Amino acid sequence: MKIELLFFGIATDLVGETKLTYDVNNITTIEDLQASLIRSFPKLKNLHEFAIAVNEEYANDGQLLKKNDVVAIIPPVSGG
């Protein structure tokens, strides 16, 4: 099953892309997706944690992904 990933902030630099299509054949939850992303893009573990939004709404770890979901990877925001 294919989903679209969007990367923001430092996540873009760590992955080297702003968006890409990602295959999640055996992945069903946000938690599984996070683990898979860290395996595919090891530099993401430098973020320690990042938020995930699915179809423009923040997702919880147990949320199930569906075909063609648009998933945003949102790093922690800092600033003044």
- Residues 32-71 have pLDDT tens digits of 999 999 999 999 988 878 899 999 999 999 999 999 999 9
Q: Give the DSSP letter of residue 64.
A: B
Q: What is the mean pLDDT of the chain?
A: 91
Q: What is the pTM of this model?
A: 0.88
Q: Hey, what domains does the chain have and what are their CATH numbers?
A: 2-74 (3.10.20.30)
Is residue 76 within 8 Å of residue 10, measured between CB atoms?
no
7-11 long-range contacts, Cβ below 8 Å, gap at least 24?
7/72, 7/73, 8/72, 8/73, 8/74, 8/75, 9/74, 9/75, 9/77, 10/47, 10/75, 11/44, 11/47, 11/50, 11/73, 11/74, 11/75
